[in-house]
Amino acid sequence: MADLVAAARAARRHAFAPYSGFLVGAALETADGQVVTGCNVENATYGLTVCAERVAIWKAMSEGHRRFMRIAIVADADAPTPPCGACRQILWEFAGDLEVILANLFGETGRFRLADLLPMPFDRRLLKT
């Protein structure tokens, strides 16, 4: 787990957050043990900003990964900083009930299952096909 948090901490250094100053890094572990990282990238409109968790998912998907075990998310905050609602939805759709490890610059601040952070997800089960 320490390696995953370290990878997220390193990814955070690449974040582009000139508006909020809130740098976030994520490290997503694939089912075969590979680690794919992401960082947040802000935009002046804020609405087009992409969070670290989504960057990691998109990178992993674009590299052919389809199954995931856990994600570590690092932010410079004392309190645990969970994924935003949009990231929870994307993580659920593409990674399912993975383990979510939250950390800051000094250590782990929390550990959850995604189902605990998103107890009633919207997904393909609700779509009539």
Decide if 125 is inside a domain.
no
pLDDT single digits (tens) 53-85: 999 999 999 999 999 999 999 999 999 999 999
Decide if 23 is inside a domain.
yes
Mean pLDDT over the full length of the chain = 96
Return left, alpha or beta for 25; rule: phi > 0 is left, psi -120 to 50 is alpha, else beta. beta
Decide if 128 is inside a domain.
no
Decide if 129 is inside a domain.
no
Decide if 127 is inside a domain.
no
pLDDT single digits (tens) 19-63: 999 999 999 999 999 999 999 999 999 899 999 999 999 999 999
Structural domain of residue 25, as residue ranges? Answer: 2-119
Catalytic residue (one of 53, 63, 99, 108)? 53
Contacts (Cβ under 8 Å, ≥6 apart) of 66: none
pTM: 0.94
| Domain count of the fold of the chain | 1
Decide if 97 is inside a domain.
yes
Is residue 108 flagged as an active site residue? no
Q: Which pLDDT value is given to residue 125?
A: 87
Decide if 38 is inside a domain.
yes
Q: What is the CATH number of the domain that holds 21?
A: 3.40.140.10
Decide if 112 is inside a domain.
yes
